[in-house]
Chains A and B, each alone.
Chain A
Amino acid sequence: MSSLTSPDSVPIDPAHPVRSYPRFIWWGLGEATNGSLLFYTWMFVLTAIALVGANAWAVQVSEGMIVTNMTDHVSWGLYIANFTFMVGVAAGGVMMVIPAYLYHDKKMHDVVIIGEILAISAIVMCLLFVVVDLGRPERFWHLIPGIGRFNWPMSMLTWDVIVLNGYLLLNLHICGYLLYMRFLNRQPNPKWYVPFVMISIFWAISIHTITAFLYCGLGGRPFWNTALLAPRFLASAFVAGPAFILILFSILKNVVGQRLEDAPARLLINIIRVTIVVNLLMVVSEVFTEFYTGGSHTASAHYLFLGLHGHYALVPWIWTAMIFNIVAAGLFLSPLVLKRERVLVFACILAFIGAWIEKGMGLIVPGFIPSTLHEIVEYTPSLVEWKVSAGIWAFGLMVLTVLLKMAISVYRQSPAPATESTR
């Protein structure tokens, strides 16, 4: 592999740039696997968890989905719950793009890269969560248009496959292109990324809307069959995505000293401020319609919030989520989040976990309880499901870490890109 151009010669000798994109990636991967002891420990722990997850999944494939606690009554569980939530994080991550490009807020450009990196890792996790939920993963090729039989446009799941993969490609392109140009110390050509950035804004909304349609299109499930589902999804995505980015920057600052400037941070906080309130408002209106009128449509909501006929497995979960969301909203609305980073990080963590419960277990599971024939069969994830999910989270964090390291290497390599001057 002597063909790999020595990376550090590149910015200095423009006549001899790394012309090949694959080589740039190669170099980046090399960079990303160097680090301190802390980094290696972190990656080692993640690898260990991911391996435990891989093993649990392999057991699940060989012995059947019986090792999960899902049943014919509750046929989707922790995996699809996590999938739904991660779609939100992916969409929310890229929403930083709006201020950056629509309002030409230059300070946001660096955040955009981070948001897109977050989106890439989140989508990778989404795809994994779908794969582990399949009863016959070796038949995944049936889903590939052209080779398999693709029930498009009728099935919302085929739409989801398209938009998720498209979103992944879009973000890989934008991220890769901007970083590569910066690495070469060249001005990125707007033609090659601005249109894609614009598309990705709409695309981010579409991945979320379509994931909501996956559920709210099912007439037999009154709990999901509400027009408010898609907007509620979006609102909590705008909370979870930026909250994660703020947490990430706090970690980056402490670990590698990469600071988020004040203006972008303030903007992220403001986004959360608005959407967390909008989200709560929508929850309240939904709860009101459910409970004020009553009737059989209320059964699932009743089960979720108060328990039904002596079954109340989800009640502690949803109230935890409610309390987290309300406390987080209170913190975000107070000026403290701007002044004290600890408060900010704490509020972000609360909001993130709150959204995870609410959009995951609090949304998927009650859709199945009571069942369409009004039987109540409860669901608690099995150990295998927890292991597989933890494994995917660990793998997602590994992807995130590696991509972030690549990006940071590029930034340090070319600290003053030509980009800033004109755009």
Chain B
Amino acid sequence: MSNEPANSDGPTNSSGKQTPDSDQNLLPILGQPTSRRTALKAAGAALGLAAFGKAVSPLMVIPENVSVDEFLQRHYKELTDEDKQKIFTRMEKETKESYGAEVSISDPQPIPGVRYGYAISLSKCNGNGKCMEACHEENNHHRGVDQSYIRILEMPKGTMDMEQGNTTYDHTVPQDDKFYMPVQCQQCDNPPCVTVCPVEATWKEDDGIVVVDYNWCIGCRYCEAACPYHARRFNWEQPEIPAEEVNPDQGYLSNRIRPQGTMEKCHFCLHRTREGRLPACLEACPTGARVFGDLNDPESPINYVLQNKRVFVLKEELGTQPSFFYFFD
């Protein structure tokens, strides 16, 4: 921009000599031989621009990695079935290209009238971590990190104070003086993560599952700061998964491989549960500590637990109203 005013002082320059002092201090551009300063400025601007272009050249990966279609893609809720078909096909193709895996992306809808709840028996859970492993594999997590939507707190008996807990134990389990408390997304009924999201990239579905549109999230991580259960994960880099380990059964709002720079979280394996199967973590649990089901169905195992056990929720005082319960047998 600096060279532009200089362009202009050619024709009008002649009038630029009215007050002597203005000449020297104020408008040096007019008082001087224009050509030299102009040329210098132009050269400076050109150099600056070139340097800027060079500096931001790593950004050139954006057009490579983000197609126009992806860039312009609308929010999930604004997509027609036709749009979705196109998008899923595109994503399947992209997964094939970048991961070498044949996958199919589906979009199961909430079952009308169903509202999911999850419960964990603190008497049975022994901290073996099989649920974490299953979650990691089911959800196509980045293999480079020890990632899972579940964290298991090892707590000394006699306290519910999480500050006494430890998530990074590596000794044999269970320890006699300890109990184990897995924490994952509590699918809150009053979810702070949804309230704070500036672009509505995360919301609560009719069956109570809080989901993220990975293609709408801008990666501000406000929801991560807001969640009181440390249930959200950010994709700090593009996940890497060997082709043979990619789980091909993928849901758009659940376990498809997440793009870099976006948020993700536990979704109660909605690509399984909405089709009548159980969450992967539950299936993997060797102790039978996990109970899942429809809160609206009086016959469901979850309702049995709620009616017959001493049940509590975590951080009740925060008013998040979890659909995730803990109980003692």
Interface residues, chain A, CB within 8 Å of chain B? Answer: 1-9, 12, 26-27, 29-31, 33-34, 47, 51-52, 54-55, 57-59, 61-66, 68, 70-73, 75-76, 130, 133-140, 142-143, 148-151, 154-158, 161, 214, 217-221, 296, 299, 367-368, 370-375, 409, 412-413
Contact = CB atoms under 8 A, between A and B. Distances in A.
Contact of A136 (B1, B6, B261): B261
Contacts of B224: 72, 75
B293 to A, nearest CB: 26
A371 B230 CA distance: 7
Given A157-B222, A220-B315, A65 B236 contact: yes
Interface string B144-173: 000000010100000001110101100000
A149 B199 contact: yes
Contact of B19 (A5, A8, A33): A8
Contact of A219 (B199, B216, B228, B260): B228
Given A64-B261, A136-B261, A374 B162 contact: yes
Nearest to A36: B28
Contact of B198 (A33, A71, A133, A155): A155
Given A8-B15, A58-B55, A136-B219, A373 B199 contact: no
B256 interface: no
Contact of A4 (B12, B195, B197, B228): B12
A154 B264 CA distance: 21
Interface in B94-127: none
Contacts of A76: 221, 225
Contacts of B220: 130, 133-135, 157
A156 B196 contact: yes
Given A62-B59, A65-B261, A151 B218 contact: no
A373 B167 CA distance: 9
10 contacts: A2-B11, A8-B22, A9-B16, A65-B234, A71-B236, A135-B260, A136-B262, A149-B199, A155-B222, A375-B167
B201 A296 contact: no
A156 B52 CA distance: 34
A401 to B, nearest CB: 13
Given A2-B10, A373-B183, 13 more contacts: A12-B19, A30-B2, A30-B5, A63-B58, A64-B238, A66-B237, A136-B259, A136-B262, A139-B216, A140-B218, A155-B198, A373-B229, A413-B22
A130 B18 CA distance: 47
A18 to B, nearest CB: 11
Contacts of A58: 55-59
A33 B62 CA distance: 33
Interface string B115-142: 0000000000000000000000000000
User: Across chains A and B, which 8 residue pairs bring their CB atoms closest together, nearest first?
Assistant: A135-B219, A30-B5, A220-B228, A135-B261, A64-B237, A4-B8, A33-B2, A157-B198
A34 B183 contact: no
A219 B318 contact: yes
A144 to B, nearest CB: 10
A180 to B, nearest CB: 16
A55 B56 contact: yes
Contact of B218 (A64, A135, A220, A373): A135
B9 interface: yes
B161 A296 contact: yes
B221 A135 contact: yes
Contacts of B13: 6
B215 to A, nearest CB: 9
State which size class the interface on B falls in: 35 or more
B287 interface: no
A102 B105 CA distance: 62
A72 B237 contact: no
Contacts of A151: 197-200
A66 B162 contact: no
Interface in B263-316: 263, 315
Contacts of B226: 218, 220
A219 B235 contact: no
Nearest to A144: B199
A129 B160 CA distance: 39
B200 A135 contact: no
B58 A62 contact: yes
A164 to B, nearest CB: 12
Given A55-B56, A148-B199, A138 B4 contact: no
Contact of B221 (A47, A54, A75): A75
A27 B2 CA distance: 10
Contacts of B238: 64
A138 B192 contact: no
Contacts of B48: 47
Contacts of A75: 221, 224-225, 234
Given A29-B1, A47-B48, A412-B25, A72 B66 contact: no
A218 B192 contact: yes
A143 B217 CA distance: 10
B2 A29 contact: yes
B37 interface: yes
B18 A9 contact: yes
B27 interface: yes
B241 interface: no
Contacts of A139: 71, 216-219
Contacts of A66: 236-237
A360 B220 CA distance: 18
Contact of B61 (A62, A73, A140): A62
Interface in B161-193: 161-163, 165, 167-168, 183, 192
B159 to A, nearest CB: 11
A61 B58 CA distance: 8
